[in-house]
Amino acid sequence: MTMTFYRKLKFALLPSLALTVASLAAPLQAETLRMSNWVPTTHYLYTDVFKPWADDVEKATEGRVKVNILPKALGTPPQHWELARKGIADITWGNFTYEPDRFQSIWFAEFPSSGRDARAQSIALWNSYNKYLQADKAYAGVKVLGVGMFGGGQMHHGSKSMVKLEDVAGQKFRMGGPIQQVLIENLGGVPVSAPATKAYEMLESKVIDGSLHTFESVESFRLQDVLTYHTLFDQGFYDATFFLIMNAKKWDRLSPEDQAAIEKVSGENFSVRWGEAFNAHNASAEQALRDAGHTFSEPSPALLAKVTEIREQMVADWELAAKDKGIDDPRALLADFESDYKRLEGE
């Protein structure tokens, strides 16, 4: 072969070589995950929890993965588990209580006396999910990135204190799930199912007499003027459980390195962030209501005893349902959750 041939070959390869070098030098395009969110961007869950978590994901993956929190939800709040499972959104968050029959195995955390420290609750629930709840096929099809609780819902009324059993009898309470329904019914009240967004209108029009909320919810839904009597159960009257999830197929397509980085800023770290946000807002809301001169009461011994009795029956019923859902030892699950909570409370 002549030198001319080599020179021609050299010049022929130069363009492809230049493209190869350029492609190696250019940064890899980030994987952008779409997250459906159903609270306003002014809500503290967005500003204090989801946006900082999304920023942490980008930082932990060194920009390889970004979370784009969409400006508008891709469905109603109860649809958000399916939105992620089906891949309509990559990431969603929501309330397990919105699909109570599907997630019966997690009911134990929503029973009365589940605690008032949302941080401790949320970490304990994350531990419970990892150790026990994954046996339930209801959680299949998604990657659970985090869970949380809200630090104890309470009983609120528009015109009088709820202290004795006879005070509750016949009173109509807005509630949002089967645990709350059973509580109100067994205390002699009348449960009325409705979202918290309807509470103000229903209280104003006397459709209901009271409503079940966390303190932060009384404030965030602007119910201060229509709910002025508050019965404070020391370890919470009821609770709610929440999830942060990702489509499983989308998760599996991420590199092991990025999966590990995301897990590092999720899981327990997410539970801490979630719980601390609820603790702060519950405390400030309760103080604001006290400063406004609202009436705070504690339940009578008889009312407390009745709630305890209802809880014991709830636990017995849940134990059977949880076994049907694949949980081998529900009592051990509950004992571990309560032990974790007591260990973490007040940290």
pLDDT of residue 347: 87
Residue 339 main-chain phi, psi, to 5 deg = -65, -45
Listed by start position, the domains of the chain span 31-150+240-281, 154-238+291-344
Distance of CA 112 to the CA centre of its chain: 18
SS3 at position 221: coil
Q: Where are the alpha helices (DSSP H) in 132-177?
A: 165-168
pLDDT of residue 5: 43
| 154-238+291-344 and 31-150+240-281 share a CATH fold | yes
pLDDT of residue 17: 46
At the top level of CATH, the class of 31-150+240-281 is alpha beta
pTM: 0.90
Q: Which helix (H) or strand (E) is 36 found in, with range?
A: strand 31-36
Token digits of residue 305: 């005893």
pLDDT of residue 7: 52
Residues near 79 by Cβ (< 8 Å), separated by ≥ 6? Answer: none
Neighbour-count burial of 265, counting CB atoms closer than 10 A to its CB (0-12 exposed, 13-18 middle, 19+ buried): buried
- For 154-238+291-344, CATH gives 3.40.190.170
Cβ atoms of 123 and 272 closer than 8 Å: yes
For β-strands 295-297 and 229-231, DSSP reports them as parallel
Residues of the chain with pLDDT under 70: 1-28
pLDDT of residue 136: 97
